[in-house]
Structures are given as structure tokens and as C-alpha cells.
Amino acid sequence: MFEDLIRRVEEATAASRQWAETGWPATFGPRGVAVPTLREAKALPKNAVFREEAVNYWNQARLIGNDAADAGQKALDALRRGDLSAADDALYFCQYVEKPFAEQAKTWLPLYEAFRERGGAAAA
């Protein structure tokens, strides 16, 4: 019943762990310099005024992505054993922790909504 959702959660879990590496459009400083990944943020000159801001932003994306991925793994485990209540809790947490980056990452909220639309929460 949830095979396609399991596949999507697996993909989202892997993607979350890579947010800081794969990145998305992000600009920093008064000139709006594009710094789309953690690697590029760390490569900025040490004297760039916005370097710390960019590095911190991408470090936060990495940390939050890992937290979401950890919860995504819990959702996978729960879905595989048919524990819909635990899956609902884990997917809720995924979309909750993603909120600071939801506009850019667009990873967990669509999955959580798909789960709930399929009756996952009602069965939980």
C-alpha cells in the first residue's frame, strides 16, 4: 500500500543528507553574491564580509538536513513494519525541522501531505 511512499521517503532521506552539498540558489551580503553550496561558502576569501553568514547558513542546512534524514529513516522503518502512527510522527518531524529551508529544499512537506492524503494519519 505504501511502496511508492517508501521509495519517495528513501529518496528524500538521501537528498536531505546532501542539502549543503547539492545546495540551491542563495545569496549573501549587500551585493547579493550567489553562494549555492557549503563548499562554495568555505571557498570564499577569508576577508569576505558575508563569508561567515554563508558558511553558517550552509552548516545549518547540513545539520537540519541530517536531522530530517534521521527522522526519515525512522519513518522508513515504521512504514516497513506497518506502524503508521510512528511513520506519521516521524514524517511530521521531518517537515517541521525542514521549515527554515522548506521554500528551497521542498523535500518533506509534500511527502507528509501525501502520507496523510493516503489515509496514513487516519489509520495511525
Contact 72, 89 (CB under 8 A): no
pLDDT at residue number 124? 46
* Nearest Cα residue to 112 out of 3, 7, 9, 2: 9
Cell 519513518 locates to 75
- DSSP labels, 3-41: HHHHHHHHHHHHHHHTHHHH----EETTTTEE--SHHHH
Q: What is the pLDDT of residue 119?
A: 77
pLDDT (tens digit, 9 = 90+) per residue, 38-52?
Answer: 999 999 999 999 999
Report d(CA 124, CA 121) in Å as an integer.
Answer: 5
Q: What is the pLDDT of residue 121?
A: 61
Whole-number pLDDT of residue 120: 72
Question: Which residues of the chain are modeled with pLDDT < 70?
Answer: 1, 121-124
pLDDT confidence of residue 118:
84
Domain residue ranges in the chain: 3-22+58-123
